[in-house]
Amino acid sequence: RPGEKLYEELFHESEALQSTTHEKILLARHRTVDWDWLDTTMNELNSACEAYDEVGLQRLFKALVPEWGQNEADAGKDLMAIPIDEKESGREEQPTLH
């Protein structure tokens, strides 16, 4: 059918691939993460959320997921935030990361 995707990307270009006993099956090796850095970054992410710091959130997302970014088709489009009435959401208190 026209427009149908015939190829699926199974691996990201930054992943290290390892051969297996089957010539057409590859194993992707995950990236290693420094747990102290991850803990610090997640705490910074929590603080940025609490402060509604959109620029800081984007910076932190990019640090956590280097391949994260806007889709070219969405580039330049304005994003709209939708306010939420916390009483209607059923949340009694703000969530925190531990």
Give the percent of the chain with pLDDT over 70. 66
pLDDT of residue 33: 86
Using alpha carbons, select from 42, 47, 11, 43 the residue that is nearest to residue 29: 11
The model's pTM: 0.52
Q: In this structure, are residues 39 and 33 in contact, taking their beta carbons and an 8 Å threshold?
A: no
Q: In this structure, are residues 97 and 46 in contact, taking their beta carbons and an 8 Å threshold?
A: yes
